[in-house]
Chains A and B, each alone.
Chain A
Amino acid sequence: MYTFSNRLKTFSIALIIIGALGVVYGFMTSHKSFEDVETMLATEASHGGGHGEEASHDVATTHDMTAENAALTETGEAHVDEHKEHVEHVQHQLANRPWSAIYVAAFFFFMIALGVLAFYAIQFASQAGWSPVLFRVMEGITAYVLPGGLIVLGIAVASGTIGHYNLFVWMDPEVVANDKLIQNKESYLNLPWFIIRGLIFIAGWSLYRHFARKFSIAQDNADINDNRNFKKSFRIAAAFLVFYIYTESIMSWDWIMSVDPHWFSTLFGWYVFSSMFVSGITVIALISVYLKSRGFLTFVNDSHIHDLAKFMFGMSIFWAYLWFSQFMLIWYSNIPEEVTYFVTRFQDYQLPFLGMVVLNFVFPFLLLMNSDYKRLPWFIIMAGLVVLGGHYIDVFVMIMPATVGDRWFIGIPEIGAILLFAGLFIMVVFTSLTKAPLLAKGNPFIKESEDFHY
């Protein structure tokens, strides 16, 4: 049995408190009055050196077509409106920032748990012989699926009910009234249906998680020749994977793609999947290495770590493949209605957008290629942290351009949100790890897994 060390518990509580302070600070400083924003823009313009107010008007009105669709005329009156609209636009972006910051962090930690759940189901459905020793670690991580999913959905809904439509412009009836494109999507993109869909997804995932865990523990206590629980696990894993691949796709349209309701991409669901899958596997590796170093996973050997590292390596390349496929197809054909997605990212997010390719692809590709390195715990930890950082930025670049535009920065609200959810994640996961023995001894493949050697 694992005992949640007091130091780690204190650490996670500290993360939650510090993170919560950062989030509160973010919300308190994000509400700027019209005049505040006006003076801020004026100072920026004078500091910009040549980047005059006139120029910033152009940028503001052309770069974000989703939020504004004003028809501009050349009259003086229109110029005043334009100024007012620009200031309001920036004001809105500033107000969006803390919302987006917690949404990105909440989704990032949630997607880790969901990725692990998919990986876990695949291990059952494929009857993998190497991984059963890691099942309890995976079950521990997937404990975060239910709270994490509810938090993400809660933030999404709250942004449209408590907040001022800070994440999804399609929730704003005023925007929809003036937007033909969103009106056409209204039968899909409306708040009640969005909530129902979200609840169906979360219910399906958590139900699978609940029963998989239940059967896994029941198998531990069952007679040695009684594999009924294992067979049930196998069946529900296969069924879950079918459910998962549909709902994951729809979830990524709902929770991520719909922040840009004018844009669509067909492989987006896969792209989000690859990101959550590789982050999930990385976290399994990190937690396994941690628990092993504390002496709780004596049955996990180098070869298990090696296999996880191979998955990290392969799935990082898979992510890069999908990232590039999505980018290159849109870049190549350059159709205006879909290319704006990447234009804003290239203009305003060049460093994170290209930097994450280095973190998520080049770095793991070169470091995890060597077979010997994949067996070194410190190497896995180092590469894993880089991969996780890269995938945080991945989610960041998916959400932020649509909500805060060029007003992004990774500052107190963002880091606070990461710490808050990291603390919560550690709390939930490690509490769940204490609930059952770390070796799923009833699993029929457990002997093979313990003797696994590569």
Chain B
Amino acid sequence: METSKVIHAFYTDDDVLMSAVKRVKAEKYHIEEVFTPFPVHGLDKAMGLEPTRLAITSFIYGCIGLVVSIVMMNYIMIEDWPQDIGGKPSFSYIENMPAFIPIMFELTVFFAAHLMVITFYLRSRLWPFKTAENPDVRTTDDHFLMEIAIHNNQFELENLLKETGAVEINIVEKVEAH
């Protein structure tokens, strides 16, 4: 197993964190990760993260749900056993469609919502017995943590981070997972 050194800089204010992230990006260091106790508005933009494509997957899942509902009800109500139920016209799908719309709507929403949530869990690697990944317990309460890999530039980085207002700087040996 390979080990590498990372630097952990702690902040106690999200505004300070934001300006620190901008500073570090301007100095062309690669930020591995930022841990925060709550969403910091604009942090993703400051870090230069790509926008999420979760909404697009949701749209596709919704379309799948719509198709599933149409195929299902067309098969059951129109093709397999077109009974006369209270005089509703079961001759073709389009003739009886208003009665199917509530189900078409609900299944579209159901697929769009649930599959998107599952996609979110998969993409962000979240599941019930997962080991927590936060490097310091304070990051879930009132501290912000920026993690930067060290490539023979420990002192410059430490100085830079101190300048940005870090309240604590730790050098950590990290075991690479892969």
Q: Which residue of B55, B87, B98, B99 has the most chain A CB atoms within 10 A of its CB atom?
A: B98
Instruction: Report the minimal beta-carbon distance from B46 to chain A, rounded to whole angstroms.
Output: 15
* Contact A328–B98 (Cβ < 8 Å): yes
Q: Among A324, A334, A371, which residue has its beta carbon within 8 angstroms of that of B101? A: A324
Mask, A327-343, CB within 8 Å of B = 1, is 11001101000000000
Give the distance in Å from the alpha carbon of A331 to the alpha carbon of B97 in the complex: 11
* Closest B residue to A327 using CB positions: B98
Q: Which of A111-147 contact B (CB under 8 A)?
A: none
Dominant SS among interface residues on chain A: helix
Instruction: Report the minimal beta-carbon distance from B40 to chain A, rounded to whole angstroms.
Output: 16
Q: Is B93 an interface residue (CB 8 A)?
A: no
Q: Which of B74-94 contact A (CB under 8 A)?
A: 87
Question: Which residues in A have their C-beta under 8 angstroms from that of B101?
Answer: 324, 328
* Contact B87–A369 (Cβ < 8 Å): no
Give the distance in Å from the alpha carbon of A343 to the alpha carbon of B55 in the complex: 40
Question: Which residues in A have their C-beta under 8 angstroms from that of B98?
Answer: 324, 327-328, 331-332
Q: Is B59 an interface residue (CB 8 A)?
A: yes
Instruction: Report the minimal beta-carbon distance from B21 to chain A, rounded to whole angstroms.
Output: 19
* Closest B residue to A328 using CB positions: B98
* Contact B59–A369 (Cβ < 8 Å): yes
Instruction: Report the minimal beta-carbon distance from B95 to chain A, rounded to whole angstroms.
Output: 11
Instruction: Report the minimal beta-carbon distance from B118 to chain A, rounded to whole angstroms.
Output: 21
Give the distance in Å from the alpha carbon of A82 to the alpha carbon of B151 in the complex: 98
Mask, A298-329, CB within 8 Å of B = 1, is 00000000000000000000000000100110
* Contact A334–B87 (Cβ < 8 Å): yes
Question: Which residues in B have their C-beta under 8 angstroms from that of A369?
Answer: 59
Give the distance in Å from the alpha carbon of A369 to the alpha carbon of B55 in the complex: 10
Q: Which of A356-375 contact B (CB under 8 A)?
A: 369, 371
Give the distance in Å from the alpha carbon of A328 to the alpha carbon of B97 in the complex: 10
* Closest A residue to B55 using CB positions: A371
Instruction: Report the minimal beta-carbon distance from B110 to chain A, rounded to whole angstroms.
Output: 17
* Contact B99–A332 (Cβ < 8 Å): yes
Question: Which residues in A have their C-beta under 8 angstroms from that of B87?
Answer: 334
Mask, B154-174, CB within 8 Å of A = 1, is 000000000000000000000
Instruction: Report the minimal beta-carbon distance from B171 to chain A, rounded to whole angstroms.
Output: 38
Give the distance in Å from the alpha carbon of A381 to the alpha carbon of B30 in the complex: 43
Question: Which residues in B have their C-beta under 8 angstroms from that of A328?
Answer: 98-99, 101
Give the distance in Å from the alpha carbon of A369 to the alpha carbon of B99 in the complex: 26
Instruction: Report the minimal beta-carbon distance from B71 to chain A, rounded to whole angstroms.
Output: 20
Question: Which residues in B have their C-beta under 8 angstroms from that of A334?
Answer: 87
Give the distance in Å from the alpha carbon of A327 to the alpha carbon of B97 in the complex: 12
Instruction: Report the minimal beta-carbon distance from A374 to chain B, rounded to whole angstroms.
Output: 13
Mask, B98-127, CB within 8 Å of A = 1, is 110100000000000000000000000000
* Closest B residue to A371 using CB positions: B55
A-B contact pairs, 10 of them (CB 8 A): A324-B101, A327-B98, A328-B98, A328-B99, A328-B101, A331-B98, A332-B98, A332-B99, A369-B59, A371-B55
Assuming A328-B98, A328-B99, A334-B87, what are 9 further A-B pairs, CB within 8 angstroms? A324-B98, A324-B101, A327-B98, A328-B101, A331-B98, A332-B98, A332-B99, A369-B59, A371-B55
6 smallest A-B Cβ distances: which pairs?
Answer: A328-B98, A331-B98, A332-B99, A324-B101, A332-B98, A328-B101
